[in-house]
């Protein structure tokens, strides 16, 4: 298994969000070669501002593993995490983050802020950006283009 494969699973999660009218962001949390948790945006459906794909995947992983420290984990997400999600990744001790497309309006890993590798925090995350970036960005662009046309 590799980054492209797991990002494909995150894209499948993003498509689930797209299909129900949620902003199409998907996340998959992996430890070793095992998918431990998946999530996609559910803010509109759940009426919950914190129901981002990453947070949902983190919560599911903690529940499935019976622990809050996600050491050894890699989170794959289609769009660069926002400040809340980047903070949740640091606080849950995820070791590695792989994301698809940058978010120049809310990205908190490299675009606007750098929470994931901030020296002031007690945990830093290894980051790989740009995996299947065109596919991830295209899904977002198509979603918002469709919304504007309604």
Q: Which helix (H) or strand (E) holds 96?
A: strand 96-101
The answer to whether residue 54 is catalytic is yes
Strands 34-40 and 96-101: unpaired
Planar angle of CA 64, 32, 138, nearest 5 degrees: 85
3-state secondary structure (DSSP) of residue 27? strand
Question: How far is it, in rounded angstroms, from Cα 27 to Cα 9?
Answer: 8
User: One of 13, 22, 54, 80 is an active-site residue; which one?
Assistant: 54
* Residues carrying an active site annotation: 54
């Amino acid at each position: 298994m590799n980054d492209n494969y797991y990002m494909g699973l995150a894209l499948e999660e993003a498509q689930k969000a797209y299909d129900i009218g949620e902003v199409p962001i998907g996340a998959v949390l992996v430890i070793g070669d095992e998918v431990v948790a998946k999530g996609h945006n559910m803010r509109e459906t759940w009426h919950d501002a914190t129901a981002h794909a990453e947070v949902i995947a983190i919560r599911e992983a903690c529940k499935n593993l019976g622990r809050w420290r996600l050491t050894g984990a890699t989170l794959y997400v289609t769009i660069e995490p926002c400040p809340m999600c980047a903070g949740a990744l640091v606080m849950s001790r995820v070791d590695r983050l792989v994301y698809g497309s940058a978010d120049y309006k809310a990205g908190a890993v490299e675009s606007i802020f750098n929470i994931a590798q901030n020296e002031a925090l007690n945990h830093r995350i290894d980051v790989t950006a740009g995996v299947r970036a065109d596919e991830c960005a295209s899904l977002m662009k198509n979603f918002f283009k469709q919304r504007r046309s309604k």
